[in-house]
Amino acid sequence: MTKVYELQEVSKTYRNDGKEFEALKNVSLDVNEGEIFGIIGMSGAGKSTLVRTLNRLEEVTSGHVLFYDKDLASLNARELRKVRHSISMIFQSFNLLNQRTVIENVEQPLRIAGVPRRERRAKAREMLKVVGLEEKEKVFPARLSGGQKQRVAIARALAADPKVLLCDEATSALDPKITGEILDLLKTINAERKLTIVIITHEMAVVEKICDRVAIIDNGELAEIGDVKEVFSDPKSNAAKKLVFPSNPFAPSSEEGTLIRIVFDGTKSSEPFIANLVEKTGLKVNILSANTRSVGGIGYGQMVLELPSDLSEQEKIISFFVEGGLSVSEVERND
Q: Which of 68-77, 294-303, 304-313 has the lowest mean pLDDT?
A: 294-303
DSSP 129-172: HHTT-GGGTT--GGGS-HHHHHHHHHHHHHHT--SEEEEESTTT
For residues 321 and 233, what is the distance between their CA atoms, to the nearest angstrom?
14
What's residue 255's pLDDT? 67
CA distances from 37 to 151, 211, 216 (A): 20, 6, 11
Q: Where are the alpha helices (DSSP H) in 266-330?
A: 273-281, 311-323
DSSP state of 249: S
Q: Would you say residue 204 has pLDDT above 70?
A: yes
H-helix or E-strand containing 19? strand 19-32
Q: Would you say residue 156 has pLDDT above 70?
A: yes
Q: Is the distance from CB of 226 to CB of 50 less than 8 angstroms?
A: no
For residues 37 and 6, what is the distance between their CA atoms, to the nearest angstrom?
13
Report the DSSP pairing between strands 258-265 and 298-307: antiparallel
What's residue 273's pLDDT? 82
C-alpha angle with apex 216: 59 to 248, nearest 5 degrees?
145
For residues 60 and 303, what is the distance between their CA atoms, to the nearest angstrom?
42
> How would CATH label the architecture of 245-331?
2-Layer Sandwich (3.30)
What's residue 159's pLDDT? 93
Average pLDDT for 302-319: 89
Name the amino acid, one letter, at 90: I
Q: Would you say residue 310 has pLDDT above 90?
A: no
* 3-class DSSP state of 332: coil
For residues 200 and 47, what is the distance between their CA atoms, to the nearest angstrom?
7
Bridge partners for 7 per DSSP: 29, 65
Q: Would you say residue 94 has pLDDT above 80?
A: yes
Q: Percent of the chain, pLDDT > 70?
A: 94
User: Which has more pLDDT, 72 or 113?
Assistant: 72
Q: Is the distance from CB of 243 to CB of 204 less than 8 angstroms?
A: yes
pTM confidence score = 0.85
CA distances from 307 to 169, 200, 257, 260, 273 (A): 38, 37, 6, 7, 15
> What is the average pLDDT score of the chain?
89
User: Which has more pLDDT, 331 or 82?
Assistant: 82
* 3-class DSSP state of 223: strand
HEC string of 22-40 equals EEEEEEEEEEECCCEEEEE
pLDDT digits (tens, 9 = 90+) for 29-65: 999 999 999 999 888 889 989 999 999 999 999 999 9
Average pLDDT for 179-187: 91
pLDDT digits (tens, 9 = 90+) for 239-278: 888 888 766 656 666 666 688 888 887 666 667 888 888 9
The CATH classification of domain 3-241, taken from the options 3.10.20.600, 3.30.365.10, 3.20.20.70, 3.40.50.300: 3.40.50.300
What's residue 246's pLDDT? 66
Average pLDDT for 157-162: 92
Q: Would you say residue 220 has pLDDT above 60?
A: yes
Average pLDDT for 283-293: 84
How many residues would you count in the chain?
A: 335
Give, to the nearest 10 degrees, the angle between helix 117-130 and helix 146-159. Answer: 130
What's residue 54's pLDDT? 95
Domain positions in the chain are 3-241, 245-331
